[in-house]
Chains A and B, each alone.
Chain A
């Protein structure tokens, strides 16, 4: 068990550019979540995958955001036409099937800075 990994750890981009983040969950976990955390706030839910199916999207996830999880393994989160308000820490978490699905294991996050 190597834990949840996220890449890159830091990303600085100019407003209007597209960015993509990757999350590799714990291998046997079929649930995967994306959260966003801004300064001074707790993480906020963005979207949820069970295997390759994206089952829920928060209203925080505007149409500039898209997430995929091909083959139910790693996941990517893409932000198109970035805005300064997108600057945040993007956290990925995974959990196994069943009641323990509430136990979410978080990656270190990708810190996005939009200039």
Chain B
């Protein structure tokens, strides 16, 4: 069964510092991979997605992620964090269409705290 692991429950970074959030997946074929962000009181917002092709994908708000098949990873990065980036970040994987349509399987999330 497919699964998603986000090893870090909480991460604290200083404003202006670089950020990397880890995501590992378990799935037999090439998955469809996503990063979502959730701010308090807000719904999930799609940051970026990987379907195929270039393994380095660019997203909104200056985020990027790299798909590494050999490591079954899809880590999220940002070169310089802003205080407004403080939020909960979720990695998700989508399987090939099944009866579940395109249901996403989410990790447990990483809570990002940004300090001055």
Q: Mark A residues whose CB is within 8 Å of B.
A: 4, 31, 33, 40-45, 48, 50, 55-56, 91, 93, 95, 99, 101-109
B108 touching A42, Cβ below 8 Å: yes
Instruction: Count chain B residues whose beta carbon lies closer than 8 angstroms to a beta carbon of A.
Output: 28
B101 touches A31 (CB 8 A): yes
Chain B: CB-nearest residue to A95:
B102
Selected A-B contacts with CB under 8 Å, 18 pairs: A33-B103, A42-B108, A55-B99, A56-B99, A56-B101, A91-B43, A93-B44, A95-B102, A102-B51, A102-B94, A102-B102, A103-B49, A105-B46, A106-B43, A106-B44, A106-B45, A107-B43, A108-B42
CA distance A108 to B41 in the complex (A): 7
Q: Which residues of B are in contact with A by a Cβ distance under 8 Å?
A: 4, 32, 34, 36, 41-46, 49, 51, 90, 92, 94, 97-109
